[in-house]
Structure 1
Amino acid sequence: MLAIYRKEISGFFASLIGYVVIGVFLIVMGLFLFVFPDTSLLTYGYASLGPFFRLAPNVLLFLIPAICMRALAEERQTGAIELLLTRPLRDWDIVLGKFLACLTLVVIALLPTLLYYYTVYQLGEPVGNIDMGGTLGSYLGLLFLSMAFVAIGLFASALTTNQIVSFLLALALSFWCYFGFDYLAALPVFYGNGDQLIASLGMQDHFQRLGRGLIDTRDVMYFMTLTALFLLLTVLSLDRRRW
């Protein structure tokens, strides 16, 4: 697993992929948070990173499928996956190595955003007037959200040899898992207690609950289970190629 991890990480930064991903994420978030007046932290009126945590999942929704689309699709297209499968590596080693490498790249992209926290911390009146619990919970939510998106991206990449198809499939699955259940819960047929039950099946509901600063084990287990499910589906997809 570590060999796969090191290979993927070096591949990200030996080419422009890693730098482009980090640069695009920071530029897009910087524009929305400090330039565009409708979402700017400077005109928000409160010492809060609320706009950042509302925008970040939407950016990651597109960015992570772009990172993962080549992880397995390119190797299937070039035949390199056959070499990997014949080596003394378990399918789980391959999948977890690629999963951790893609997740590491996302975490590296998120780390510089701590400067946003420092900026809002200093702009507060008085200085430091910011919801520490909510900020910590939201960052934790972004980490769990990234884990789930990466797992979905790897699953999509394992299903096809075409990177564009892999990107679109991962985007569709991620969009449904994040927004789809909320749209479904809004249908008139689910008015009453059923709407909250349907909404709780989606990632957005659990991400927002973590953002309130209350770390509930149910929210953590939801993301861990969803991530494990798609990683398992990815392994089963690779195992199917042996037959």
Structure 2
Amino acid sequence: MLAIFRKELNSFLNSLVAYIVIGVFLVIVGLFTWFFDSNVLDYGYADLNNFFQLTPFIFVFLIPAITMRSLSEEYKSGTIELLFTKPLSEWQIIIGKFLAIFLLIFVALLPTLLYYYSVYQLGNPKGNIDSAAVSGSYVGLLLLGATFASIGLWASSITDNQIVAFVIGAVLCYVFYDGIQQLANVFSGTTQFYISFLSLGYHYEALGRGLIDSRNIIYLLSVIFLMLFLTKQNLVSKKN
């Protein structure tokens, strides 16, 4: 598994994918957080709501752009057959790739801690920011990023075409994050609640309120496991 992790990470670094993804992400969130309309400085309140509301929608496109080549390229180049001949289980291949993608997401988020520090210092009085909500939102972003990574990895496992994998991954990420929530808004009462509960956005927003509820974490982890399991089943079918 570590060999796959290192191989995938080196592949990102050698192809400039990591630098481009992190650079694009930081430029977009930086502009919206600090310069465009409704930025932190104009808003007049010490919070990072804009950042935490925008980032999931950027992830919808950026994470599938990272994952689209993970398995589809292996299929197209035939190197997947080489992996199957090595003493590696399907789980080891998948987890190795998944962890490399997750590390990239983690590294992309690290520089944004400067946003929190800046707003913390700019608060009046200093430190006038809901740190619990910020912490919960970062936990939510990491889990949401991991969930999108698992969805993108599954999309990459069903085709040898990277563009197709990207489109499928991006569409599914949006549907699971916001599409289900939009559907829920058509209804009311308990029906709306139960449909909303299936949305990744519902659990992400709940974590962003600063209350780390185990139900939200368990749901997101369950989706991650389900998508990785389905990816594993696709690899088994490919192998056979």
How many angstroms does 1:9 deviate by?
Answer: 0.9
Question: For the residues of structure 2 that align with 1:162 and 1:230, how far apart are their CA atoms?
Answer: 19
Question: What do residues 203-239 of structure 1 show as CA deviations (whole Å, max 9, x unaligned)?
Answer: 0000000000000000000000000000000000000
Residue 96 of structure 1 corresponds to which residue in structure 2?
Answer: 95
Separation in 1, partners of 2:110, 2:38: 21
Q: Distance in 2 between matches of 1:242 and 1:11?
A: 23
Deviations 1:107-154 (A, max 9, x none): 100000000001100110001111010000000000000010000000
Report the counterpart of residue 202 of structure 1 in structure 2.
199
Counterpart of 1:7? 7
* TM-fit CA distance, 1:15: 2.3
Matches within 5 A, 1:35-54: 35-36=35-36, 38-54=37-53
Q: Paired residue for 1:26?
A: 26
Q: Which residue number in structure 1 is paired with residue 144 of structure 2?
A: 145
RMSD: 0.7
Q: For residues 1-243 of structure 1, what are the structure 2 equivalents within 5 Å?
A: 1-36=1-36, 38-187=37-186, 190-243=187-240
Q: Using the alignment, how far apart are the partners of 2:43 and 2:95 within structure 1?
A: 40
**Which whole-Å CA distance do the structure 2 matches of 1:3 and 1:167 have between them?**
25
Q: Give distance in 2, aligned partners of 1:193 and 1:106.
A: 35
Q: AA paired with 1:32?
A: F
Equivalent position SS for 2:239: coil
Q: CA deviation at 1:82?
A: 0.8
Q: TM-score, normalised by structure 1?
A: 0.97
Percent of residue pairs identical: 51
Q: Measured at CA, do residues 193 and 150 of structure 1 come closer, stay the same or move farther in structure 2, by a change above 3 Å?
A: same
- Cα distance in 2 for residues equivalent to 1:41 and 1:75: 43
**CA distance in structure 1 between the partners assigned to 2:167 and 2:195 by the alignment:** 25
Q: Give the Cα–Cα distance (whole angstroms) in 1 for the partners of residues 22 and 239 of structure 2.
A: 36
> Number of paired residues?
240
- Whole-Å Cα distance in 1 between the matches of residues 47 and 97 of structure 2? 34
Instruction: Tell me, in whole angstroms, the C-alpha distance in 2 between the residues paired with 1:196 and 1:109.
Output: 33
Shift of 1:191: 1.9
**CA–CA separation in structure 2 for the residues paired with 1:242 and 1:34:** 49
How far apart in 1 are the matches of 2:163 and 2:228?
Answer: 20
Give the Cα separation in 1 of the matches to 2:2 and 2:205: 33
Q: Under a length normalisation based on structure 2, what TM-score does the superposition of the two structures give?
A: 0.98
- Poorly superposed stretches of 4+, deviation over 3 Å: none
In structure 2, list runs of 5 or more residues that go unmatched: none
